[in-house]
Chains A and B, each alone.
Chain A
C-alpha cells in the first residue's frame, strides 16, 4: 500500500472503553504534530466506562486538516470485536494492521490488505497487555519514519507520573513497535507521506473545549459555575486547571439552576461570569436566561449540544438545540447567539461573547456540540483581540439609577461597593431605580428600552462568511460545527458554481443574510439535526425557503464524503 503521494492519512483506532484509547490518541497527536504534520482527531465513544466499542479517527496531513472523513487508510483493531461497526467504512484500500485474533476472519478473503503483527505477544514480552498501545504508537511512528529520539521524548513528557519501571517498559515497547513499523516500510508493505509542513510544530494542539476556555479567558472571564454534563464539562475542567494562575473562581454548583443564578450574581458584583452546560442542563437554566433579560445582566452561556430529547445520546453530537436556545426564557428580551465553525472560531467567539454580553447587558449563548468540543486539531496560535476583557462598569454617584432610560437602551452599569450609589436589581418589572412597579407607562418604557438594544446591536453583528466566489449559482448554507467538513468537501469537488455561506452568529441575523442567500439560484442547507432548525430561523427572519435540506441526526457528525456526494448530486 503506497500512501506516499497522499496529502493526508486517516487512521482509525478501535477498542473498548477502558483500554486507554484516549491516551493513545493524545500521544499520537503530539507525536505527529511535533514531527511537523497537521493533525486532527475525533473520538466517538459509547456512554459507558468499560467495554463496548469506541473509536478514534486521527488524520495526519501535510495540509491543515480539521474534519471527519469516512475513508479509513489504516485500521488498527485493538481488541476482538473492534471491527464490527466499521464494515462499511473499510475498503479494499484500507490497510488493516493488528493481532491475528483482533482481525475478523472475513477480511482474509484476498480482497483486503491485512498485515498481521504479534502486538499482544510483544506486549506480554514487554510486561503486560497495557503496552499494546505504546507498541501501536511505535508501529505508526515506524511507518511514517519518525525520529526515534522524538518518540522517546514524547513518551517521557507524556508519562511523567509513571513509575520508573513503567517508563522503561514504555520505551522498550515503543522501540519494538518502531522496529515493526520500519520493517513494514522497508519491505514496501506500507509507505506513508514524508513531507511535513514547516511551522506546523509551532501550532497549538487544542480541542474545542479548550479553545472555548482560552477565548473566555481572553474575554476576561474570572468566574465559572457549572454542573457536570457531557460534553460541556470539559470547559469547567479547563478552568479548574487554570484557576490559580489567573485568579478565577471555579465552582461546581449543586445544580444548573444554582450555576446560572450564581453567574448572574457574580456579574452584579463585578465579576465576568459564564456557565457551561448541555441541553438538559440548559433546560434547567432557562428561567434564569429570562432573569438576565429582566435584570439586563450580562451572562455568557456555553451550550455544548448533544442529541436529545431528554437524556438522548449522552456522548454523541447534534445541532438540535438552536431554536431552543433562541426561544429560551419567557418574555421578550434581546440576546445574541454565536455558533463557532472551527476551533479557532471557538476562541474568537468566546472572547467576543464576553464583550457583547457586557456592552449590551444581555445573555450571550455560544453554541458548540460534542463533535466540536472533543475534536482536536493543530491550529495557528490564537490572536487576542484588544478590549474584549474590559469591564464596562461605572463608578456610581449618590443618585445612581441602574435602569436610567437611554437612547440605545443600555444604562450605565454600576455595581455595589463601587461608588456612593446603591444598585438595585429586580426581576419584577421595575422603574429606573430598579424598584418594583406596576405602572403601565413605565412598563412600556422599560420594554422599549430593552428591545431598542436590538437596533443598536446591529453595528456589532457578525456577518455570515462567504467561502467561494460571489458569483455562485448554488449556495450551501450552514452554521456552527459543520463548516470545515463542508469546506473540505467543496475543495475536493470541482464546482466553481457552488459557494458556502457560514453563520458564526446565528442570532440576531446580520442584515446581509437575506440578500446573500436570496441571490442563489439553488439554496441548500446542511444541518446536523432532523428538522432543519436554522432554515426555520432564516425563513422566519427573511421569508426565504431552501430548495434542499441535508440533515443528519444519527448522533454522528457529517463526514466529508457525505457532503461531496451532496455537491456532486446538484
Chain B
C-alpha cells in the first residue's frame, strides 16, 4: 500500500533482508496513514541502533539523537509544541538499557507520546551482544557462557509504574500491529508499544517461528483496565500475551500539568516574550 509517508524515489535501507524492522515500519506507516496524520506535524524521535534508523525511512520530520535519549527529546518536543504528534521509536537496548532511567521517568511523567520499542532481544548494530531483554543462557561473542542476567520485562515494569497505556505486538503481524499502534497514538498520555521482532542475522534463537510459537493474542473478554490482572498477564513467559495489556485511566498528561499552558494553549514558538511581565519580575527584585 502506498502512503503519504513513502518517499517519491527509492531509498537505501540499511536493514538486512528479512529483518523484523520491515514489518514494524509497514505497520507504522499504515497506522499514521489510516489515522490521517499530516506529514508536517508528525515527528519521529529515535536514539541509536538499527531500530533507531526507522525515522530515516519515513517521509516525515524526525529527530535522531543520541543512544538511549529518545524519550527526553520526545518529551520536550511534545511539551514545547503539543500540536505535534510525537512518536519515540528505538530498540530494546536504546530504550531499556542505555535509556532505562528515562524509560522509568517517561512513564511517570505521562507525556502524550507514543513509545514504540523494537524488541529483538539482541544488539544488532554492534553485532550480536546481549540486550536487556535477551533470554537467560543466550550465547553471544561477549556473553560467551550465556546471559546470566534476569531479562528485563518492560511491560511488567510499565504496569508496575501505572503507565497510562501498555501494549505488546509482533512484527510478523503487520495489520494487528498497525491497529495497536493506532490505539497507542490516539491514546492521550504515554503509550508503550513493545514490538517483538526477529533479528535474522544475530539472533538465531528468537526467530519468526519462535515468536509465533511463544505468543498469543488477548481476546475480547480481557479487560485492560484491571491492573492486577494486567500485571499477572505481563509476567507470563511460556507464551507472551499480545495486544493492549493495560490502560490506567489517568487523564492528566505532563503537558496538562505545565503552568505554561494553563491559560494559553499556543505552542512556545508562537509566543513572544511578555515584556511587561518581565518588567514586573525585575521590579520585584528592587531593594
Contact of B285 with A210 in the complex, beta carbons under 8 Å: yes
Q: Across the interface, do B40 and A218 meet the contact criterion of CB distance under 8 Å? A: no
- Scan A263-286; emit 1 where CB is below 8 A from any B CB, else 0: 111101111110000000000000
**B273 contacts which chain A residues (CB < 8 A)?**
217-218, 220, 246, 389
Find out whether the CB atom of A242 lies under 8 angstroms from the CB atom of B286.
Answer: no
Q: Is A245 an interface residue (CB 8 A)?
A: yes
- Assuming the contacts A205-B287, A436-B56, asked whether A247 and B271 have C-beta atoms less than 8 A apart, the reply is yes
A249-B80, A270-B80, A417-B41 given; A254·B101 CB < 8 A: yes
Q: Which residues of A contact B79 (CB under 8 A)?
A: 223, 249, 251, 266
In the complex, residue of chain A having the shortest beta-carbon distance to the beta carbon of B38: A417
Task: Say yes or no: A261 contacts B69, CB within 8 Å.
Answer: yes
Count of inter-chain pairs, beta carbons less than 8 A:
203
Q: How far is the CA of A200 from the CA of B286 in the complex (A)?
A: 10
Contact partners of B61 in chain A: CB under 8 A: 416-417, 422-424
With a cutoff of 8 Å between Cβ atoms, the chain B residues found around residue A287 in the complex are 66
Q: Is the Cβ of A291 less than 8 Å from the Cβ of B60?
A: no
B101 adjacent to A258 (CB under 8 Å) = yes
Q: Does A452 contact B (CB under 8 A)?
A: no
- Distance in angstroms between the alpha carbons of A218 and B259 in the assembled complex: 19
A318 located at the interface, meaning its Cβ lies under 8 Å from any Cβ of chain B in the complex: no
Q: Is A214 an interface residue (CB 8 A)?
A: yes
A residues near B74, Cβ cutoff 8 Å? 265
Residues in chain B near residue A418, CB distance under 8 A: 269
Is A202 a contact of B69 with CB atoms below 8 Å? no
- Cα-based distance from A66 to B277 in the complex (angstroms): 28
Which residues of B have CB within 8 Å of A424? 55-56, 61-62, 64
In the complex, what distance in Å separates the CA atom of A390 from the CA atom of B285?
Answer: 25
**Contact of B81 with A by CB under 8 A:** yes
> Is there an interface contact between A422 and B101, defined as CB atoms closer than 8 Å?
no
Among candidates B59, B102, B275, residue contacting A422 with C-beta atoms closer than 8 Å: B59
A266-B80 contact in complex given A202-B287, A222-B260, C-beta closer than 8 Å: yes
**Contact of A254 with B40 at beta-carbon distance under 8 Å, contacts A204-B286, A246-B274 already known:** no
Q: Are A422 and B40 in contact, CB atoms less than 8 angstroms apart?
A: yes
Does chain B have a CB within 8 A of A225? yes
1/0 contact string of B76-88 vs chain A (CB within 8 Å): 1111110110000
A23 to B239, CA, bound (A): 63
Select one of A200, A214, A269, A378 contacting B269, CB under 8 A.
A269
Distance between Cα atoms of A270 and B62 in the complex (Å): 14
| With known contacts A203-B286, A382-B282, A265–B102 Cβ distance under 8 A | no
Let me know if B77 and A421 touch, CB within 8 A. no
Answer whether residue A405 sits at the interface, using C-beta atoms and an 8 A cutoff: no
Q: Is the beta-carbon distance between A272 and B285 smaller than 8 angstroms?
A: no
Contact A426 B269, beta carbon cutoff 8 Å: no
Q: Of residues 206 to 246 in A, which have CB atoms within 8 Å of B's CB atoms? A: 206, 210, 214, 217-218, 220, 222-223, 225, 242-246
B75 closest partner in A (C-beta):
A262
Could you tell me if B264 and A271 are in contact, using CB atoms closer than 8 angstroms? no
Q: Is B188 an interface residue (CB 8 A)?
A: no
Closest to A222 in B: B268
When the two chains form their complex, are residues A34 and B72 in contact, meaning their CB atoms are under 8 A apart?
no
Is B43 on the interface with A (CB-CB < 8 A)?
Answer: yes
B39 within 8 A of A: yes
Determine if A248 is an interface residue (Cβ-Cβ < 8 Å). Answer: yes
Q: Which residue from chain A places its CB closest to the CB of B274 in the assembled complex?
A: A246
Contact pattern, A 11-38, Cβ under 8 Å of B = 1, otherwise 0? 0000000000000000000100110000
Report B264-283 CB contacts with A as 1/0, cut-off 8 Å: 10011111111101101110
Give A423's nearest chain B residue, CB to CB.
B61
Residue pair B268, A261 in contact (C-beta under 8 Å): no
Give min CB distance, B77 to chain A, whole Å: 4
A361–chain B nearest beta-carbon distance, Å: 15
* B residues less than 8 Å from A244 (CB atoms): 259, 262
Are the C-beta atoms of B281 and A242 separated by less than 8 Å? yes
Q: Which residues of A contact B271 (CB under 8 A)?
A: 222, 247
In the complex, A425 has a CB within 8 A of chain B: yes
Complex CA distance for A396 and B39, rounded to whole angstroms: 13
Other-chain contact of A204, B66, B71, B282 (Cβ < 8 Å): B282
Are the C-beta atoms of B262 and A265 separated by less than 8 Å? no
Task: Collect the chain A residues with CB atoms within 8 Å of residue B77's CB.
Answer: 265-266, 268-269, 416
Residues of A within 8 A of B62 (CB): 422, 424-426, 434
In the complex, besides A218-B273, A378-B287, A425-B63, 15 extra interface pairs with C-beta distance below 8 angstroms are A30-B287, A217-B281, A225-B72, A248-B260, A254-B104, A258-B72, A258-B102, A262-B75, A288-B69, A389-B273, A391-B272, A416-B84, A417-B40, A417-B41, A422-B39
Binding site for A on B (CB under 8 A): 39-41, 43, 45, 48, 53, 55-56, 59-66, 68-69, 71-81, 83-84, 101-102, 104-105, 258-262, 264, 267-275, 277-278, 280-282, 285-287
What are 14 A-B pairs at a CB distance below 8 A?
A205-B286, A214-B281, A217-B273, A225-B72, A244-B259, A247-B259, A249-B80, A257-B102, A258-B102, A265-B74, A269-B84, A425-B62, A425-B63, A427-B65
